Chain A
Amino acid sequence: MLYRTSGQFKTSYQADQALFPVRQDAFLLGIILILAWVVFPLTASEFTFQAILIPVLIFSLASLGLNILTGFAGQLSLGTGAFMGVGAYACYKMVTLMPWMNPIVAILLSGVFSAGVGVLFGIPSLRIKGFYLAIATLAAQFFLVWLFEKWAWLYNYNASGAIQVPNLDIFGLYVAGPLASSTTQYYVVLVVVTLLTLLCINLTRGNLGRTWKATRDMDIAAELIGINLLKSKLLAFAVSSYVVGVAGALYVFLWKGAAEPNVFDIPLSFQVLFIAIIGGLGSILGNYLGAILIVGLPVVLNLLPALLGIPIDSAMVEHLNIMIVGGLIVFFLIVEPHGLAQLWRLIREKLIIWPFPH
């Protein structure tokens, strides 16, 4: 009833290719945007901001970046964490070398550095494919994290070896560092994530996106119909690493506040990969659904014992968490290998024809 597409006629190709060909989709997105922009910031507590809202957005962005590379261009990467690190360290160097710089500009620029590094490590993808490439990206993962540790210039020769976010302001309003309020940070993250999502949606449904999809489906065939594989693959690495790098800068500057090199180690890469896969490879919406699940689940699991009044010590909860997340990953893969986005697609189809089965 609510989801009728009948009567919504398209009379031009443009109308058919619009971002929201179906009115209900636009309406739904509007509700979500109102929730994200108005309702959540007004009602959320400090804990909700720090434990759920901000990390969900940041992880969705990182997963979006990975999804462009893996889901759209078909190049499996296990080095996401390290590329996030490149973004974070680049941003740190920029704001400490040039303190007058607008922090949002610095965050957006830091992606450029990770894009450069991403292209460098993407060059082997022209010869190496599949799992061999996945392991090759691990070279980036381990090498870069090692570099973050050993290259003291990167963390300004701190004794601790960690990067500490200074207080940064835009026209007197603190957006990062200990003095910034969670609401401000949330809005900054939201602005960046919204902008980049819009960019990615349009990139993936345009000419470039089709080139990527052709490369993903079969790169030799793509080459035969005249797609420049060098350009297609390296651009995928560049765009993906850019988004991932910005996510990394946000991760440290607007959420964690400080970071040691081992934060960007392989568990972070896997966490982002889980989000992308559970959400659905080759989908934009999936990244958000996946991030809500993967970020939200441990928070809920941590709160559950206290709510139910079961006394378990925190180390045990931690271990159980890992176990349950692992189990759920397998479970979701078995139930719906194409991810939560596919689940939504099925629900939507059912809604459109409801109450009839076909």
Chain B
Amino acid sequence: MLADIFINPFVDMFAAPDFLLQVLWEGLVSGILYALIALGFVLIFRSSRIFNFAQGIMVVFAALTLVGLHAYGIPAWIAVALTLGVMFVLAVTIERVVLRPLVGQPDIILFMATIGITLFLIGFGETIFGGENKVMISEELGIPTGDTVLEPWGGLLILQHLDITVVVVATLLVGALLAFLNYTRMGRAIRALGDDHQAALSVGISLQTIWVLVWFIAGIIALVTGIAWGARAGVSFALEVIAYKALPVLMLGGLESITGAIVGGLMIGILEKLFEIYWGQPLLGGNTETWFAFVLALIVLLFRPQGLFGERIIERV
């Protein structure tokens, strides 16, 4: 039993390094998507202290809108543009209808409101586009299919072109986002708001504009994630499980930290895959991916209650 836990998995890893690489690669791909979702979340949390539970459902909603619009006969790229428009309208609507009347309420009320938004979006999306499983329009969007087979150490490593595209696009998006946050006026305003609300307001930064902006950015991220995940697994509200995956990422990385979201996402993506393949399936009957990330984050949190990169929590009486 002990050998099964502490020795055999590592023996397996060294016996088949090509398979290990394959596992690491798949973990990396899902990790980068987790990181993306977590990033949208962190932006909203930093600028408004809202724990946005709807982030995951926005992913599904964006993908569903895109596929649904295309099904009405709109060309793929115009559908993408229209979906972005829908996400913008959504951001404005949420800010106007939900957030503005709730300014200053306790955190938990705002959190509940985002769960309300989640339900509303699920119902709305299903009413308009139907609840059945759909196929992402990968071909029309020019997402490459097929795969490259590498043979490291005489083994076999299959890299789906789709996955490679996902990694490249996600990395570019994260890079663009970081550049936006660090080098543009708007980006600096977002960060200022994250550091200190009142100070930011007093130098003339508009709270409402920034809120719409961060929700819109979260919408863009949601669309990209939705396309990527939809191409891998189909578009349906079952995708919302990935929404829950972003939560342990946040816990691990810290709710306020952009670096934390990225590092946490990659860590969780890779570690949960490793655990599932080498420990979960042989010892625990598999499907451990549903809870592993949460338990890992919980353990890390016991040692660092603010996450790996979160702001130090200072409590005063």
Contacts and interface: CB of A to CB of B under 8 A. Distances in A.
Contact of A146 (B111, B255, B288): B288
B302 A132 contact: no
A86 interface: no
A139 B291 contact: yes
A319 B287 contact: no
A138 B51 CA distance: 15
Contacts of A134: 51, 111
A178 interface: no
B120 A321 contact: no
B118 A320 contact: no
Nearest to A324: B123
Which interface residue of A70, A224, A322, A329 has the most chain B CB atoms within 10 A?
A322
Interface in A165-222: 218, 220-221
The contact size tier of chain A is: 35 or more
B294 to A, nearest CB: 4
B251 A136 contact: yes
Interface stretch (A26-34, A121-129, A343-351): A121-129
B241 to A, nearest CB: 9
Given A127-B305, A218-B317, A329-B112, A138 B120 contact: no
B116 A327 contact: yes
Nearest to A338: B109
A272 to B, nearest CB: 12
A26 to B, nearest CB: 32
B295 A139 contact: yes
Interface string B290-317: 1100110110011001110000010111
A263 to B, nearest CB: 16
B107 A130 contact: yes
B275 interface: no
A330 B116 contact: yes
Interface stretch (B21-29, B98-106, B136-144, B191-199): B98-106
A316 B127 contact: yes
Nearest to A331: B116
Interface of A: 70, 76, 124, 127-132, 134-136, 138-139, 142-143, 145-146, 149-150, 218, 220-221, 224, 266, 270, 273-274, 277, 281, 315-316, 318-330, 333-334, 337
Interface of B: 51, 97-98, 101-102, 105-109, 111-113, 115-124, 126-127, 131, 244, 247-248, 250-251, 255, 284-285, 287-288, 290-291, 294-295, 297-298, 301-302, 305-307, 313, 315-317
User: What 7 A-B pairs have minimum CB-CB distances, sorted nearest first?
Assistant: A323-B123, A326-B119, A326-B120, A322-B123, A329-B116, A139-B294, A142-B291
Given A146-B290, A320-B123, 13 more contacts: A129-B313, A131-B107, A132-B255, A142-B291, A143-B291, A146-B287, A146-B288, A274-B115, A315-B131, A318-B126, A323-B119, A323-B122, A330-B120
